[in-house]
Chain A
Amino acid sequence: MSEKKLMKGNEALAEAAVRAGCKCYFGYPITPQTEIAAYMSKRMAKSGGVFLQAESEIAAINMVYGAASAGVRAMTSSSSPGVSLKSEGISYIAGCDLPCVIVNVQRGGPGLGGIQPSQSDYYMAAKAGGHGDFFMIVYAPGSVQEMADFAVRAFDTADKYRMPVMILSDGLLGQMMEPVVFPEITEKAPEKPWACVGHENKRKHNIVNSLYLVPEDLENSNRERFKKYDIVKAELPEADCYLTEDAEIIVTGYGASARIARSAVNAARAEGIKAGLIRPITLWPFPEKAYADTVDRAKAYLVVEMSMGQMVDDVRLATSCKRPVEFFGRTGGVIPKPSEVLEKIRELDKKYNKA
């Protein structure tokens, strides 16, 4: 087994990306993700890759667009306002069916917001990453170990489906240190016969393009892409279920919120409340089955987020609105306390279970 290292989430993600074969990193500094860029600036040159601090987030995502067109494993990272800037580029990348990895270490918003941890970019990641008919795959790490593991997985998944993949983290996971063991890299990046790397007059030239002036052509392209999305939806959804087997009050949240919710679930269990936790690992595709499997036993669901409640609708859909879905959240950079979540669990237990 490889050695445990004590690292920040941001650094662990960056190191794992390099090990996964990321050869181009383009970024622009913003708190709380700057450690990714700082780490890459030291590490990339040594690993034979390119680190480039772009003049803006928009430039960085378009550099990723270029590198991905040439079949290179490329990544950019930013925090909330910076990811807004990248959204045009992300749409182009999706429209060209290019694989790449985009990291969002979320901070409070809207606007310039604040620099403390937040989860208010769920909609932007899972629903509306940019203009047009497209989705990106979204992974939500819940620990420093997963910051590393999911960086590797993100590159593999991006190449497999030729899709942009977002790692949706937050300031808490990015800044905290935990022990991490770097995963063994087993999968090699697949061949990319579609990449624009020069045809040397030996084959027809490849075109990477998202412009279709004939409406029917664009419609066909979108329909083809959505066939691929159906495959992704069948193959990829993933959730971590904790004590859900007999749970009556199901708490659900992703990333940092799930950590806090887990502490609250443990405390609720100690009081005799049958609480459990569903932690979505993929936010798109949303792990609907994990919820559907619990609907018969559950009395109610409690969504915990560091936002005003952006995942609530997805939980309602996944449970077909068969049970009440309530929400507890803190926003603007305030981290919810386990005791606050516990109080809400007690309230739900009283309201829906003992009634």
Chain B
Amino acid sequence: MTRMSDFNIRPKDLTDQEYFYGHKACAGCGATIAVRLALKVLGERTYSVLPANCMSAVSFIYPQMAFTTNAIISPFASTGAMLSGVAAGARALGIKDFQTVGFAGDGGTADIGFQALSGAIDRGDDIIYICYDNEAYMNTGIQKSGLTPYGTKTTTSPAGENLPGAVTHKKNMFEIVAAHGIAYAATASIGYPNDFLRKLNKAKSVRGPVYLHILASCPTGWGSKTELSVQLAKDAVDSGLWYLAEYENDEFKLNRNPKEFIPVEEYLYKQGRFKHLKEEDISVIIEHRDKKWEKMRKTWL
């Protein structure tokens, strides 16, 4: 029987080859870490599909291309559909031993690209879909998406006298995707790279659709210090506001179950987007977190 630990990758075993460099992303960008690591694991025989988002905007500026492997920008709503098309075309041409991976943001996944993602999973296509979640439409200037957490100040969910910022919680993408009966799905954080690397390695071996949802900090959109990007992505998990989990064969598994959470304030108040939060807003966030963890601890352990 294959154990999850069989998929562990030691950082020193990662290739020195860079497949994604020379891009124009902001300093401290979490998404670029996710893309860079993913390609190091998936290897050079990889087709990448990126919809209109930060990662495509910073890396396909003619004539300077930041991907050394095959890559294409899809229409915003079309990551899932184009991934399927690329995989089907390559298969039909008899191309062997390749990976097809999508890198879509939170809006491109939970909002406009949701339908095409659902279609791709439904077809059972052999693709890997990576949602890098920086919790708002960052490329267009920090607007609220379906994955923006409660209480986030964005340019379309202002915080003021009447509103605490975003008034809805994050759409539950991981479980929605799992409900398709997908071959493999997992959440991750750039703050826990070993866990992410293992999940990528696992994804590579899975036949059928894979969905990886990785929390990726964004200093520009989060109003945080660039040097804190990795720390914040770790704090999100340690405070219980994000979680590391997997879904396979109709079963959920919680990969990290902290005995005690660090105080959410420690995570939230390091970010400009949450600076305005009042005590009652923090209570709403904690209550929502605890409900989620109660369920996960009951059924995912």
A binds B: no
